[in-house]
Structure 1
Amino acid sequence: MKSNVDISVVTCVYNEKEKHLREAIESILNQTYKNFEFIIILDNPDNEVLKNIINEYKSMDNRIIFLINEKNIGAAESANKGLKIAKGKYIARMDGDDVSFPKRLEKQKEFLDKNPECILVSGLTVTIDENSNILSYQKRYFNTKIISKVLPYNNPITHSTIMFRKEAVDILNGYRNFEASLDYDFYLRFLSNNLKICVLPEYLVKYRVRKNGISETKAYKQTAFSFYIRELYKERIKNNNVDSFSEEDMKKYKEKMKLDNKIIVNKLNKKIMLYRLYLKKGKIFRLIYLVLTDKFILKKAFNTLRFAFFYVIYSEGVKNKNAGEK
């Protein structure tokens, strides 16, 4: 693999379906921009199916660098292994079951080349199901001027759409070891370090929704860690960019939120899914009852209201629905 690549694409995989992983890999290998390396980290060394698939593509394309963890170390540490060896000026993230549009890397590189003040650029998504059928197009987005104001309250960035400058890795020291929402912490530390986040209002990635995805199985953990990450951000604002994060501090937070108690976690997962359903269906009275009878859901509702305010007032409509395919 040549050392003068412009872009390093970093993907972590664990238990993706074979057809989804193939779609993801091929969407990167078939990019119109060719000068990149593709670093794939397998965080499940016992998964022989994925191992064979990745080795198959590696034998056909020397841009692939394949790392296999000796044991499961989690998304953050796996990603950091990829970031550590990345040679590109720019780093693009990609999930192992999403699909990048053919011109994604070309468009993001061109954007960062032309906008040196931008350290990270994200884009728009098209949502697909497990059979790659299109479910919806992202209809609205927050522009570059607004995104930094929205992020402290909610995370509107899809991880698979981001590309950032390699120097950000040195400044932030990569991802921190959260069990969920580690990308959210990553973005908020961009803000804390005055690293500008920009938005390219074009469709770059097809984002896959799986039946056993995080929205159904880890909704409580995702939400709880988001609350924790926001508190750390507030600490950094007050304390000259220093927060109290540590493995021990996170352990105490998990105990406080009972994140290892399966009964409580499953109960709150169901409540969050009901909250989303009632909100979507406009079942106001059921929604109010749910919010008023659970402090955690009440806190989530306040965040929803704040985000809704930003969304209604500041979000912009997407002008070209077919932009990603051109």
Structure 2
Amino acid sequence: MISIIMTIYKEPWEWLHSALESIINQSYQNIELIIVIDNPNYDDIDQLKNQLTKCNVKYICKTNLVNVGLVSSLNYGISLSTGDYIARMDSDDIACTDRLEKELEFLQKNNFDLISSDVKKIDERGNQIGNSYYTNNLMANDIKKIEKWQNVFWHPTWLGKRKVFEHLQGYRKIPFAEDYDFVIRALLRDYRLGQLSNQTVYKRVVSSSVSESKGLEQILIANELAKNYRQGKVMPLNYLTKIHINSNQSNRYKLIKKKFFNRKYLSIPRKIFFIGSLGTSKIGRIFLRNVLIQKIASLKIRHRKWG
């Protein structure tokens, strides 16, 4: 059986309804749905429970007495689960009908312990805005090399053996990068990880997401996680006390990111000036380094060249 862990905070009912329907209608039906509501004042609890009582899927739905955050909610959900396999699902995403079937087949066929898949990106209205695709499946050796530089494991697509989550004692409280930290710890324990090239989830990109609102903090933590992994270590938690980002720095990063992804609208001279200016500030250099790492890693993934 597969236990699907979903946490809810303030997601609109329309998004949550679509997410639930996509799980309820999976082609693979030996599942249980574990829902943790991390908001005792969630407006749509009655609608949620009404939908759950009408479905034929085994479920557990719990509400935290106070807001405890994503990591604690995920670990609580895992503790409630009983499946041999554990899957993640975000409450604002949509799973393709055959997601679990394809992922389980891929995991079992290759004797993986934890896998992810590719995604299709949609906006807040559900319109497709892009793909994040790789042409080939990524096998265990590929993942070991890629994760030294960036995390390609889309969290809402995860499927893993229960023993991995139990052995690692769930997630650590690493803000904005608890999934990357989990992947690294799994690799350091010699678990076999892989990525399915099929796009099995419609990943909703929203302006209030962590990657959008806390992008600078997320990159700094991810870079430190990667650096420690390259040294064969797990990042010590005391590193988090060294990160001090003020609102001006955070807003500056958001502005750089927005301008970079809209650079096609700039004239060539302005585009050259903007790219060059990124090297003149610390935040600009952090952003540029991250973009270069992603581009280089993406090319290596597609062409299977690791040097």
Q: Report the TM-score when normalising by structure 2.
A: 0.88
**In the alignment, residue 220 of structure 2 is paired with which amino acid?**
A
Offset from partner CA, 1:194-242 (integer Å, 9 cap, x none) = 111112221211111123333432212221221232244345x1xxx55
SS at match of 2:113: strand
Q: 1:28 to 1:316 in 2, by over 3 A?
A: farther
Q: 1:316 to 1:16 in 2, by over 3 A?
A: farther
Residue of structure 1 in register with 2:163 after alignment: 167
Residue of structure 1 in register with 2:241 after alignment: 252
Q: What is the distance in 1 between the residues matched to 2:205 and 2:107?
A: 29
Q: 1:284 to 1:173 in 2, by over 3 A?
A: farther
Question: Mind listing any 5+ residue stretches in structure 1 that lack a counterpart?
Answer: 1-5, 318-326
Select which of 43, 54, 57 maps to 2:38. 43
Residue of structure 2 in register with 1:106 after alignment: 101
Question: Mind listing any 5+ residue stretches in structure 2 that lack a counterpart?
Answer: none
8 Å CA contact retained: 2:117, 2:157: yes
Q: What is the distance in 2 between the residues matched to 1:313 and 1:242?
A: 25
CA RMSD of aligned residues (A): 2.3
Select which of 239, 252, 256 maps to 1:271. 256
SS at match of 1:189: helix
Residue of structure 2 in register with 1:120 after alignment: 114
Q: What is the distance in 2 between the residues matched to 1:174 and 1:187?
A: 11
> Which is worse superposed, 62-71 or 262-271?
262-271
Residue of structure 2 in register with 1:11 after alignment: 6
8 Å CA contact retained: 2:135, 2:197: yes
Q: Report the TM-score when normalising by structure 1.
A: 0.84
Shift of 1:141: 5.1
Q: 1:267 to 1:243 in 2, by over 3 A?
A: closer
Q: What is the distance in 1 between the residues matched to 2:87 and 2:285?
A: 36
Shift of 1:66: 0.5
Q: Does 1:315 align with 2:302?
A: yes
Q: What is the distance in 1 between the residues matched to 2:235 and 2:213?
A: 29
Q: Does 1:54 align with 2:48?
A: yes
What is the aligned-residue identity percentage?
Answer: 29
Q: 1:271 to 1:157 in 2, by over 3 A?
A: same
Counting matched residue pairs gives 298
8 Å CA contact retained: 2:119, 2:133: no
Report 1:78-93 matches (<5 A). 78-93=73-88
8 Å CA contact retained: 1:124, 1:141: no
Q: What is the distance in 2 between the residues matched to 1:278 and 1:156?
A: 25
SS at match of 2:201: strand
Offset from partner CA, 1:3-46 (integer Å, 9 cap, x none) = xxx10000111111110000001100000111110001111111
SS at match of 2:15: helix
8 Å CA contact retained: 1:128, 1:209: yes
Q: Does 1:202 align with 2:194?
A: no
